[in-house]
């Protein structure tokens, strides 16, 4: 308990204050040329280095920045002194330390800076989700400012793990592509030996409310879901997909994504990454040589092969924009997914749903890309931060000791055939695995929408590979009300057969929140597969089911989804093989409508009476929503297009001036 008397009465502590100190011994290794040509800031930086205890004799080595998303404070033995937000940034300081030691051993001068990240799992269903997607842009800005604020850095080692921190890191290093940079993925946490994974455990509230589990079981499962203290979650959500995509782009050393956090192989990746960065620096190679249109294309191929998170449809275009490249369009995504059906079996996708560490053991990204090359799809001349092209890496991969040892380890430890995790594509096709994403259109989403079609429960899909759903709309303007109705804590609970329509949750309404609280509940409730969800919000990477998101235009931008009423008949059709789909209003509560009648009705209706910007949406996120809207909105990756924003502000200022002079 704080005591003012104790605080002000601490005379002994106050009396111990000293007012000067001798300072570091030795002298800076300055030369006439340095003093005449270096800026005062560069010179003062040396003074600061000495002040922090760096040996002056080692002061002039090349400077490398280790930029990470570290969070929390750990004791020397790893026990928590102050918690981080999530396991994904809890141990990454160990990666920074391993890399820094490598730089130092080679005569370099390592620096470390931190820009921590939030946990999307922690903020699900809370107002914290209003800051989730906006954080990515803000963090990328902060990271780029940190990079530029170390003027003599020779390169950047970016260490990050999770949903927004890793995409932000990719934006940051690609936005400073004149430098050599290497990304070190933070890896994954292990699944519990006995218990539920970190995706399923997020549904304990919904399952308990519906009587599916006991209070004791909920407490037990909630406690033991994370098998180890560090790393991203055990499923191929946005965190794991971002790691995979970063490697596919060539931003990491080979076979870096999804390594088990805290283990020797994980630390070795950091050391190898530091060596790779110094080698790039020595050769004069930068990210401009690595991140190209071909590397973006390869990342899209790997995303499709994995069945990755739909959030990467926001992040990959943003990375391309940061690198000054052409951003992939919806048509580009469609074409890639027509070419590549999923052949990776990892949570949350089936048929088995292996944890992500098994994907690493089965060969990870190199194994996937080897299959893609065999299919004739990979752009193998794309360079990587290893200083080698993908073709050179893949020529060596099948015979490598690393591949053999890890695949054998998977067989011995988990009794799992690696080819049942990364399935040869021809075999995957025979097992019924389909393409990852589809982009339905219709009178409720004239600009399009997104569904992770591979995640629809096969039992509700027709023999022809088409999901068909028609049912009454249950309209909600807040996720809180929707989840209450799904849990049964509502005057009108959601029932099998309903189509949940969640509106006003796009960028303008809530910062485009994730709605995994809803999608996870529907997955793990027995009747949930008979409910569809249509929303202008987005989904967590671990979401499954008939969940249609990114509906455009969003309700608050005048989209017709904002005019749906309770009881309207909604029809959803998703062809998982042909990759076509539609989401349409086909009737009211009283009668069926022709397509023309439906269009006319939607045009004549007023928006839902409760449709509004969420009253608790922070001004920071409102500003983000306005800026990204000018930059092209959701389909352009929610980016800031500086030239368009400036032009829009100039036009607005001119219009206001003309209005004032009238």
Check: CB of residue 190 under 8 Å from CB of residue 341.
Answer: no
Return the closest-CA partner of residue 117 out of 90, 148, 95, 82.
90
Check: CB of residue 374 under 8 Å from CB of residue 569.
Answer: no
Q: What CA–CA distance (Å, rounded) separates 407 from 281?
A: 33
Tell me the Ramachandran region of residue 23: left when phi exceeds 0, alpha when psi lies from -120 to 50, beta otherwise: left
Q: What CA–CA distance (Å, rounded) separates 326 from 313?
A: 14
For the residues of 410-422, what is the DSSP string, one character each?
HHHHH---GGGTB
Indicate the pairing of strand 569-575 with strand 466-476: antiparallel
- In what helix (H) or strand (E) does residue 574 lie, and over which residues does it extend? strand 569-575
Check: CB of residue 184 under 8 Å from CB of residue 270.
Answer: yes
What number of other Cβ atoms are within 10 A of residue 561's Cβ?
30
Instruction: Show the beta-strand stretches assigned E in 57-195.
Output: 63-68, 73-74, 80-82, 109-114, 153-160, 181-185
Written as six digits, the tokens of 153 are 């850095």
What number of other Cβ atoms are within 10 A of residue 151's Cβ?
11
Indicate the pairing of strand 580-587 with strand 569-575: antiparallel
Q: What CA–CA distance (Å, rounded) separates 515 from 540?
A: 7
Angstrom CA distances, 393 to 323, 397, 399, stand at 24, 6, 11
Residues in the chain: 662
CA angle, 240 then 241 then 245, to 5°: 120
Q: What CA–CA distance (Å, rounded) separates 388 from 453?
A: 35
Written as six digits, the tokens of 18 are 């000293």
Q: What CA–CA distance (Å, rounded) separates 392 from 398?
A: 12
Beta bridge partner(s), residue 574: 467, 581
3-state secondary structure of 339: helix
Whether 389 sits among the annotated catalytic residues: the reply is no
Q: Which of 435, 540, 543, 621 is catalytic?
A: 540
Write down the residue that tokens 């994995």 correspond to: 306
Which is it for the CA torsion 47, 52, 57, 61, positive or negative? negative
CA angle, 234 then 238 then 242, to 5°: 100
Q: What is the DSSP letter of 62?
A: P
Written as six digits, the tokens of 613 are 């910007």
Name the residues annotated as catalytic: 540
């Amino acid at each position: 308990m704080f005591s003012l008397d104790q605080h002000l009465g601490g005379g002994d502590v106050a009396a111990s204050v000293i007012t000067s100190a001798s300072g570091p011994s030795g002298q800076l290794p300055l030369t006439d040329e340095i003093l005449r040509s270096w800026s005062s800031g560069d010179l003062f930086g040396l003074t600061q280095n000495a002040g922090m205890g760096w040996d002056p004799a080692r002061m002039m080595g090349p400077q490398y920045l280790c930029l990470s998303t570290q969070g929390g404070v750990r004791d020397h033995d790893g026990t928590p002194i102050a918690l981080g937000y999530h396991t994904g940034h809890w141990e990454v300081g160990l990666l920074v330390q391993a890399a820094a030691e490598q730089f130092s051993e080679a005569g370099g001068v390592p620096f470390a800076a931190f820009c921590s990240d939030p946990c999307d799992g922690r903020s699900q269903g809370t107002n914290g989700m209003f800051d989730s997607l906006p954080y990515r842009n803000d963090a990328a800005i902060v990271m780029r400012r940190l990079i530029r604020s170390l003027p003599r850095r020779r390169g950047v080692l970016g260490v990050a793990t999770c949903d927004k921190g890793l995409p932000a890191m990719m934006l940051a290093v690609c936005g400073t592509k004149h430098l050599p940079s290497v990304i070190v993925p933070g890896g994954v946490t292990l699944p519990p030996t006995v218990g539920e994974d970190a995706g399923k455990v997020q549904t304990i509230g919904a399952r308990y409310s519906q009587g599916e589990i006991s209070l004791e079981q909920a407490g037990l499962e909630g406690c033991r879901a994370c098998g180890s203290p560090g790393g991203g979650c055990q499923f191929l959500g946005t965190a794991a997909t971002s790691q995979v995509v970063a490697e596919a782009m060539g931003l990491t050393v080979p076979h870096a994504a999804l390594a088990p956090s805290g283990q020797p192989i994980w630390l070795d990746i950091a050391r190898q990454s530091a060596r790779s960065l110094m080698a790039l620096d020595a050769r004069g190679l930068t990210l401009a040589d690595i991140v190209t249109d071909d590397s973006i294309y390869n990342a899209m191929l790997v995303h499709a092969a994995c069945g990755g998170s739909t959030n990467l449809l926001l992040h990959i275009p943003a990375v391309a924009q940061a690198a000054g490249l052409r951003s992939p369009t919806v048509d580009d995504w469609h074409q890639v997914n027509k070419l590549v059906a999923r052949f990776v079996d990892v949570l949350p996708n089936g048929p088995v749903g292996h944890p992500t560490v098994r994907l690493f053991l089965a060969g990870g990204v190199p194994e996937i890309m080897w299959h893609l090359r065999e299919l004739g799809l990979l752009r193998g001349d794309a360079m990587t931060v290893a200083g080698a092209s993908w073709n050179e890496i893949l020529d060596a991969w099948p015979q490598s000791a690393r591949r053999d040892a890890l695949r054998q380890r998977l067989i011995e430890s988990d009794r799992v055939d690696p080819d049942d995790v990364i399935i040869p594509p021809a075999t995957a096709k025979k097992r019924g695995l389909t393409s990852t994403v589809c982009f339905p259109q219709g009178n409720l989403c004239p600009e399009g929408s997104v569904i992770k079609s591979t995640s629809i429960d096969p039992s509700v899909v027709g023999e022809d590979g088409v999901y068909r759903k028609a049912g009454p709309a249950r309209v909600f303007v807040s996720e809180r009300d929707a989840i209450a109705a799904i849990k049964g804590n509502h005057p009108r609970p959601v029932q099998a057969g309903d189509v949940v329509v969640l509106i006003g949750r796009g960028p303008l309404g809530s910062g485009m929140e994730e709605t995994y609280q809803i999608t996870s509940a529907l997955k793990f409730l027995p009747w949930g597969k008979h409910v569809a969800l249509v929303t202008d919000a987005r989904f967590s990477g671990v979401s499954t089911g008939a969940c249609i998101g990114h509906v455009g235009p969003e309700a608050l931008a005048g989209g017709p989804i904002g005019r749906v009423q309770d009881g309207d008949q909604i029809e959803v059709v998703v062809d998982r093989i042909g990759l076509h789909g539609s989401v349409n209003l086909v009737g009211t509560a009283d009668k069926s409508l022709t397509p023309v009648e439906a269009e006319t009705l939607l045009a004549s209706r007023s928006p839902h009476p409760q449709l509004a910007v969420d009253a608790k949406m922070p001004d920071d996120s409102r500003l983000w929503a306005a800026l990204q809207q000018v930059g092209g909105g959701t389909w352009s990756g929610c980016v800031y297009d500086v030239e368009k924003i400036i032009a829009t502000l100039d036009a607005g200022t001119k219009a206001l001036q003309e209005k004032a002079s009238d």
